[in-house]
Structure 1
Amino acid sequence: MPSDAGRVTSTTTLGAQLMEARDRLGLTVTEAARRAGVSQPWLSNVESGRIKTPGEERLKKLAHALELDPLELLEVSGRLTAEQQLMMQRRPSFSEFVHSDPRLDRQAARALVALYLHFTGGRE
Protein backbone atom coordinates (compact mmCIF):
# COMPACT_ATOMS: atom_id res chain seq x y z
CA MET A 1 0.00 0.00 0.00
CA PRO A 2 1.61 3.31 -1.05
CA SER A 3 2.49 5.80 1.62
CA ASP A 4 1.73 9.51 1.44
CA ALA A 5 4.92 10.40 3.31
CA GLY A 6 6.61 13.23 1.48
CA ARG A 7 3.46 14.09 -0.45
CA VAL A 8 1.93 17.50 0.09
CA THR A 9 -1.83 17.80 -0.08
CA SER A 10 -3.36 21.03 -1.33
CA THR A 11 -6.18 20.95 1.22
CA THR A 12 -4.12 22.48 4.02
CA THR A 13 -1.92 25.52 4.47
CA LEU A 14 1.80 25.61 3.86
CA GLY A 15 2.43 25.99 7.58
CA ALA A 16 0.28 22.95 8.40
CA GLN A 17 2.12 20.89 5.79
CA LEU A 18 5.49 21.84 7.23
CA MET A 19 4.39 21.05 10.80
CA GLU A 20 2.97 17.70 9.69
CA ALA A 21 6.20 16.77 7.90
CA ARG A 22 8.29 17.90 10.86
CA ASP A 23 6.16 15.84 13.24
CA ARG A 24 6.38 12.83 10.92
CA LEU A 25 10.17 13.04 11.12
CA GLY A 26 10.16 13.70 14.86
CA LEU A 27 11.90 17.07 14.53
CA THR A 28 11.53 20.20 16.62
CA VAL A 29 11.26 23.57 14.88
CA THR A 30 14.89 24.25 15.82
CA GLU A 31 16.08 20.91 14.40
CA ALA A 32 14.11 21.36 11.18
CA ALA A 33 15.39 24.91 10.74
CA ARG A 34 18.98 23.76 11.27
CA ARG A 35 18.51 20.94 8.75
CA ALA A 36 17.13 23.37 6.17
CA GLY A 37 19.68 26.11 6.83
CA VAL A 38 17.04 28.67 7.85
CA SER A 39 16.46 30.45 11.14
CA GLN A 40 14.13 29.01 13.75
CA PRO A 41 12.11 32.26 14.05
CA TRP A 42 11.64 32.36 10.27
CA LEU A 43 10.41 28.74 10.17
CA SER A 44 8.07 29.42 13.10
CA ASN A 45 6.65 32.41 11.21
CA VAL A 46 6.03 30.28 8.11
CA GLU A 47 4.40 27.51 10.12
CA SER A 48 2.14 29.98 11.94
CA GLY A 49 1.14 31.69 8.69
CA ARG A 50 2.75 35.04 9.47
CA ILE A 51 4.90 34.48 6.39
CA LYS A 52 2.55 33.27 3.67
CA THR A 53 4.75 33.10 0.56
CA PRO A 54 8.38 32.34 1.39
CA GLY A 55 10.98 32.47 -1.38
CA GLU A 56 11.48 29.58 -3.74
CA GLU A 57 15.02 28.74 -2.61
CA ARG A 58 14.03 28.54 1.05
CA LEU A 59 11.03 26.39 0.15
CA LYS A 60 13.30 24.01 -1.73
CA LYS A 61 15.62 23.81 1.28
CA LEU A 62 12.63 23.03 3.50
CA ALA A 63 11.40 20.39 1.08
CA HIS A 64 14.78 18.71 1.13
CA ALA A 65 15.11 18.88 4.92
CA LEU A 66 11.59 17.60 5.54
CA GLU A 67 11.62 14.95 2.78
CA LEU A 68 8.85 16.67 0.80
CA ASP A 69 8.42 17.07 -2.93
CA PRO A 70 9.80 20.52 -3.80
CA LEU A 71 7.30 21.18 -6.60
CA GLU A 72 4.38 20.22 -4.41
CA LEU A 73 5.61 22.52 -1.65
CA LEU A 74 5.92 25.34 -4.18
CA GLU A 75 2.39 24.54 -5.37
CA VAL A 76 0.80 24.69 -1.92
CA SER A 77 2.60 28.01 -1.28
CA GLY A 78 1.33 29.49 -4.56
CA ARG A 79 4.82 29.95 -6.01
CA LEU A 80 4.75 27.64 -9.03
CA THR A 81 5.71 29.10 -12.38
CA ALA A 82 3.66 28.18 -15.46
CA GLU A 83 6.42 25.76 -16.50
CA GLN A 84 6.44 24.13 -13.07
CA GLN A 85 2.64 23.81 -13.19
CA LEU A 86 2.93 21.89 -16.47
CA MET A 87 5.56 19.63 -14.89
CA MET A 88 3.21 18.90 -12.00
CA GLN A 89 0.47 17.84 -14.41
CA ARG A 90 2.74 15.50 -16.37
CA ARG A 91 4.36 13.35 -13.74
CA PRO A 92 3.96 11.80 -10.33
CA SER A 93 6.41 12.97 -7.70
CA PHE A 94 9.50 10.88 -7.12
CA SER A 95 8.29 10.24 -3.60
CA GLU A 96 4.90 9.04 -4.84
CA PHE A 97 6.53 6.84 -7.44
CA VAL A 98 8.88 5.23 -4.91
CA HIS A 99 6.17 4.76 -2.29
CA SER A 100 3.95 3.01 -4.84
CA ASP A 101 6.55 0.28 -5.42
CA PRO A 102 5.23 -2.84 -3.64
CA ARG A 103 8.77 -4.21 -3.26
CA LEU A 104 9.70 -1.43 -0.81
CA ASP A 105 8.46 -1.16 2.73
CA ARG A 106 7.72 2.33 4.10
CA GLN A 107 11.10 2.70 5.82
CA ALA A 108 13.03 1.70 2.69
CA ALA A 109 10.97 4.03 0.51
CA ARG A 110 11.54 6.98 2.88
CA ALA A 111 15.27 6.26 2.95
CA LEU A 112 15.42 6.12 -0.85
CA VAL A 113 13.54 9.43 -1.17
CA ALA A 114 15.85 11.06 1.39
CA LEU A 115 18.93 9.86 -0.50
CA TYR A 116 17.53 11.00 -3.81
CA LEU A 117 16.71 14.46 -2.48
CA HIS A 118 20.13 14.70 -0.84
CA PHE A 119 21.97 13.93 -4.06
CA THR A 120 19.74 16.13 -6.23
CA GLY A 121 19.91 19.08 -3.86
CA GLY A 122 16.18 18.78 -3.21
CA ARG A 123 15.26 18.83 -6.92
CA GLU A 124 13.12 16.17 -8.51
Structure 2
Amino acid sequence: MMTTFLIRTLSVAAGGAAMLWIASVPGQAAPKAKPAVPPAFARCVACHATTPGAAHGVGPNLFGIAGKKAGTRPDYAYSPALQKSGRVWTRAEMIAYIADPAKTVPGTKMINPSVASAADRMAIAQYLEKLK
Protein backbone atom coordinates (compact mmCIF):
# COMPACT_ATOMS: atom_id res chain seq x y z
CA MET A 1 0.00 0.00 0.00
CA MET A 2 1.28 3.45 -0.90
CA THR A 3 1.16 6.38 1.50
CA THR A 4 1.33 10.08 0.79
CA PHE A 5 2.71 12.38 3.43
CA LEU A 6 1.19 15.83 3.57
CA ILE A 7 3.36 18.49 5.10
CA ARG A 8 1.82 21.74 6.25
CA THR A 9 3.39 24.71 7.94
CA LEU A 10 1.15 26.74 10.19
CA SER A 11 2.26 30.30 10.86
CA VAL A 12 1.53 32.00 14.12
CA ALA A 13 1.17 35.78 14.61
CA ALA A 14 4.30 37.88 14.99
CA GLY A 15 6.47 36.69 17.82
CA GLY A 16 4.93 33.23 17.83
CA ALA A 17 6.43 29.96 16.67
CA ALA A 18 5.77 28.12 13.43
CA MET A 19 4.40 24.62 13.59
CA LEU A 20 5.07 21.75 11.18
CA TRP A 21 2.26 19.28 10.74
CA ILE A 22 2.70 15.95 8.96
CA ALA A 23 -0.10 13.56 8.14
CA SER A 24 -0.27 10.45 6.05
CA VAL A 25 -2.99 9.63 3.56
CA PRO A 26 -3.11 5.87 2.95
CA GLY A 27 -3.62 4.65 -0.59
CA GLN A 28 -2.27 7.74 -2.38
CA ALA A 29 1.12 7.88 -4.02
CA ALA A 30 3.39 10.74 -3.08
CA PRO A 31 4.05 13.12 -5.98
CA LYS A 32 7.35 12.56 -7.77
CA ALA A 33 10.04 15.12 -7.14
CA LYS A 34 11.16 16.82 -10.33
CA PRO A 35 14.81 16.04 -11.10
CA ALA A 36 17.24 18.91 -10.65
CA VAL A 37 18.05 20.64 -13.93
CA PRO A 38 21.81 20.55 -14.50
CA PRO A 39 23.48 23.87 -15.40
CA ALA A 40 24.58 22.30 -18.71
CA PHE A 41 20.92 22.05 -19.76
CA ALA A 42 20.50 25.85 -19.63
CA ARG A 43 21.39 26.11 -23.34
CA CYS A 44 18.69 23.55 -24.20
CA VAL A 45 15.70 25.32 -22.61
CA ALA A 46 15.63 27.95 -25.34
CA CYS A 47 14.23 25.30 -27.70
CA HIS A 48 13.06 22.36 -25.56
CA ALA A 49 10.45 21.92 -22.82
CA THR A 50 10.84 19.11 -20.28
CA THR A 51 7.49 19.20 -18.48
CA PRO A 52 4.85 16.53 -19.15
CA GLY A 53 2.25 17.87 -21.57
CA ALA A 54 4.09 21.13 -22.25
CA ALA A 55 3.93 22.48 -25.77
CA HIS A 56 6.82 21.88 -28.10
CA GLY A 57 9.12 24.79 -28.77
CA VAL A 58 11.46 25.13 -31.71
CA GLY A 59 12.51 21.62 -30.71
CA PRO A 60 10.33 18.86 -29.29
CA ASN A 61 9.38 18.50 -25.65
CA LEU A 62 12.03 16.14 -24.26
CA PHE A 63 10.00 14.72 -21.38
CA GLY A 64 10.08 10.93 -21.53
CA ILE A 65 12.31 10.57 -24.61
CA ALA A 66 14.88 8.27 -22.98
CA GLY A 67 14.43 4.78 -24.39
CA LYS A 68 12.09 5.95 -27.17
CA LYS A 69 12.65 5.76 -30.90
CA ALA A 70 13.89 9.09 -32.27
CA GLY A 71 11.57 11.22 -34.37
CA THR A 72 8.37 9.36 -33.57
CA ARG A 73 6.18 11.69 -31.51
CA PRO A 74 3.14 12.30 -33.69
CA ASP A 75 2.64 15.92 -32.60
CA TYR A 76 6.04 17.28 -33.66
CA ALA A 77 7.40 17.86 -37.17
CA TYR A 78 10.78 16.11 -37.02
CA SER A 79 13.26 16.23 -39.88
CA PRO A 80 12.96 13.32 -42.30
CA ALA A 81 16.57 12.47 -41.42
CA LEU A 82 15.77 11.97 -37.73
CA GLN A 83 12.57 10.09 -38.52
CA LYS A 84 14.47 7.66 -40.75
CA SER A 85 17.51 7.35 -38.47
CA GLY A 86 16.19 4.32 -36.59
CA ARG A 87 17.91 5.59 -33.44
CA VAL A 88 16.63 4.85 -29.97
CA TRP A 89 17.46 7.44 -27.33
CA THR A 90 19.81 5.44 -25.15
CA ARG A 91 22.35 7.33 -23.04
CA ALA A 92 25.07 6.67 -25.64
CA GLU A 93 22.84 7.90 -28.50
CA MET A 94 21.85 11.05 -26.61
CA ILE A 95 25.49 11.82 -25.80
CA ALA A 96 26.56 11.32 -29.44
CA TYR A 97 23.72 13.51 -30.72
CA ILE A 98 24.40 16.27 -28.17
CA ALA A 99 28.11 16.14 -29.09
CA ASP A 100 27.43 16.86 -32.77
CA PRO A 101 23.84 16.67 -34.03
CA ALA A 102 24.69 17.33 -37.70
CA LYS A 103 27.41 14.67 -37.78
CA THR A 104 25.34 12.10 -35.88
CA VAL A 105 22.20 12.58 -37.99
CA PRO A 106 23.07 14.42 -41.23
CA GLY A 107 20.05 16.51 -42.24
CA THR A 108 18.70 16.99 -38.73
CA LYS A 109 16.83 20.21 -37.94
CA MET A 110 18.73 20.67 -34.68
CA ILE A 111 21.14 23.51 -35.29
CA ASN A 112 22.56 23.66 -31.79
CA PRO A 113 26.32 23.87 -31.79
CA SER A 114 27.87 20.81 -30.23
CA VAL A 115 28.31 20.55 -26.48
CA ALA A 116 32.09 20.34 -26.16
CA SER A 117 32.33 19.14 -22.57
CA ALA A 118 31.96 15.39 -22.06
CA ALA A 119 30.83 16.06 -18.48
CA ASP A 120 28.09 18.42 -19.73
CA ARG A 121 26.89 15.89 -22.31
CA MET A 122 26.73 13.22 -19.61
CA ALA A 123 24.83 15.55 -17.23
CA ILE A 124 22.28 16.37 -19.93
CA ALA A 125 21.78 12.71 -20.88
CA GLN A 126 21.41 11.66 -17.24
CA TYR A 127 18.87 14.43 -16.67
CA LEU A 128 16.82 13.35 -19.69
CA GLU A 129 16.86 9.75 -18.44
CA LYS A 130 15.22 10.90 -15.19
CA LEU A 131 12.30 12.59 -16.96
CA LYS A 132 9.67 9.85 -16.75
Larger radius of gyration: 2
TM-score (norm. length: structure 2) = 0.25
Which structure features the higher share of strand residues?
2
Taking structure 1 as the reference length, the TM-score comes to: 0.26
**Higher RCO, Cα 8 Å, sep 6+:** 1
